[in-house]
A and B are shown apart, each in its own frame.
Chain A
């Protein structure tokens, strides 16, 4: 009934290949977070702007990103845009899909954080002669990023794990893609995916710990 023989030795030989894949995974996750953060800040500004078109656009983005499967978002970037003749590589469409998702979640985190910052902070900045953008950038945003830091870290971990969806659009260079290839050639499914899971775990944990260390250095107030 249990006749499967583990072939760890065989599987571990592929570790260097898998670690290369892990680097690609990390690269996509980091890029998607960096771009996602910038877009989320812009979406936050749109929502604060009082302009109905801008805030409507931002709200729609956040709503769609948060209430539809991440897999569909990546599909849309790859096959959906493909229908209109816009053909993105697996790497790019994976990145676009995750950026879309990240930006939506992060913008929502920022909205929550903004509620914790009194309007009088902006007013104090304006009364010193700052423009509204300066007051946002110099006074509100640093506080917002601090308050939202924990949910932002969670999103980073989520972004790392989401990259595994790339395999559905033909991504074969990231950790899941490499693992899937190895699996297809050897059928050592359990071993390869167990190793990949451990690598994902280690990356995710390392990011969380690094974020915590960063926070304790940065946020001294």
Chain B
């Protein structure tokens, strides 16, 4: 369970999170929508401790993410994240990209890491690409590789930060299909996305962020068909 309590975060003068309260249960798929600068991506990077927070707390299965005593490297093994820019490691093949962290962070043997990597890459449809270098692949393939790389650590939670935003429209579908598959397998996921159709389809709940505040959170049918908040209505009208 991820518990977010009254989290505030500023970059200089700009307060990007103005007291967020949110709980995500095991097995839940939460999507977060909202305009640019609404703070939704920042929230994700705060959840796995890549960004510090200014106030409040984030607790994952009883561990306070931002407590001094927390071993973030350990925590991040449990909370995978995939970014808008997939950040393939260019000097490693697809297989090596996925094997690296299991070997070096989890300390698995080469054979064990390879078995996991092959399984995850097959899972995201890249079984044919094992020995290829990332720059030989499309953005969609690289993004699926990044998902496999995160999954290879057997995380319990997955955070997706606009993973289709930097892709050609043609390639969005294959990545969303991968996310749908994960959702259907019961992975606990928080997806920041601009893909409304996808959000409606896979989410248990959808949260709408506006200017650093979570303006509204509801099951998809309700949020999309009967939004309560004026800003939600405006946003949905503009994106439809």
Selected from B73, B74, B87, B133, the residue in CB contact (under 8 A) with A121 is B87
Residues in chain B near residue A221, CB distance under 8 A: 90-91, 133-135
Q: Tell whether, in the assembled complex, residue B80 and residue A127 are in contact, meaning their CB atoms are under 8 Å apart.
A: yes
A side interface size, CB within 8 A: 21
Bound-state CA distance A125–B103 (Å) is 13
Q: Tell whether, in the assembled complex, residue A130 and residue B105 are in contact, meaning their CB atoms are under 8 Å apart.
A: yes
Bound-state CA distance A219–B77 (Å) is 30
Bound-state CA distance A13–B85 (Å) is 65
Shortest C-beta distance, B192 to chain A (Å), equals 15
Shortest C-beta distance, B43 to chain A (Å), equals 15
Q: For residue A128, which residue of chain B has the nearest CB?
A: B101
Bound-state CA distance A128–B133 (Å) is 20
Interface of A, helix, strand, loop or mixed by DSSP:
helix
A128/B89 contact (C-beta < 8 A), A123-B50, A220-B133 known: no
Q: Does B110 contact A (CB under 8 A)?
A: no
Shortest C-beta distance, B227 to chain A (Å), equals 33
Selected from B89, B105, B135, the residue in CB contact (under 8 A) with A129 is B105
Inter-chain residue pair count (beta carbon < 8 A): 65
Q: Does A83 contact B (CB under 8 A)?
A: no
Q: Does A143 contact B (CB under 8 A)?
A: yes
Contacting B at CB under 8 A, from A5-47, are none
For A146, A219, A221, the residue with the greatest tally of chain B CB atoms inside 10 Å of its CB is: A221
| Selected interface stretch from A91-99, A106-114, A134-142, A194-202 | A134-142
Residues in chain B near residue A126, CB distance under 8 A: 50, 73, 76
Q: Tell whether, in the assembled complex, residue A130 and residue B91 are in contact, meaning their CB atoms are under 8 Å apart.
A: no
Selected from A123, A130, A143, the residue in CB contact (under 8 A) with B73 is A130
Q: Tell whether, in the assembled complex, residue A129 and residue B101 are in contact, meaning their CB atoms are under 8 Å apart.
A: yes
Residues in chain A near residue B133, CB distance under 8 A: 220-221
Q: Does A120 contact B (CB under 8 A)?
A: yes
Q: Does B100 contact A (CB under 8 A)?
A: yes
Q: Mark B76-97, 1 if CB is under 8 A from A, else 0.
A: 1100110101010111000000
Q: Does B153 contact A (CB under 8 A)?
A: yes
Q: Does B149 contact A (CB under 8 A)?
A: yes
Residues in chain B near residue A142, CB distance under 8 A: 91
Residues in chain B near residue A124, CB distance under 8 A: 83, 87, 89, 146
Bound-state CA distance A126–B81 (Å) is 10
Q: Does A131 contact B (CB under 8 A)?
A: yes
Q: Does B104 contact A (CB under 8 A)?
A: yes
Residues in chain A near residue B146, CB distance under 8 A: 124
Q: Does B150 contact A (CB under 8 A)?
A: yes
A143/B50 contact (C-beta < 8 A), A128-B150, A130-B101, A220-B133 known: no
Bound-state CA distance A165–B195 (Å) is 66
Contacting A at CB under 8 A, from B49-71, are 50
- What are 9 A-to-B residue pairs whose CB atoms are below 8 Å? A120-B85, A127-B48, A128-B76, A128-B150, A128-B153, A129-B76, A138-B100, A143-B91, A146-B91
**Contacts A121-B89, A129-B77 known; 13 new A-B pairs at CB < 8 A:** A120-B87, A121-B87, A123-B50, A124-B146, A127-B50, A127-B80, A128-B80, A128-B101, A128-B150, A129-B105, A138-B100, A138-B104, A143-B90
List the 10 shortest-distance A-B pairs measured between CB atoms, nearest first: A124-B87, A128-B101, A221-B133, A129-B77, A129-B105, A129-B76, A142-B91, A127-B81, A129-B73, A120-B87
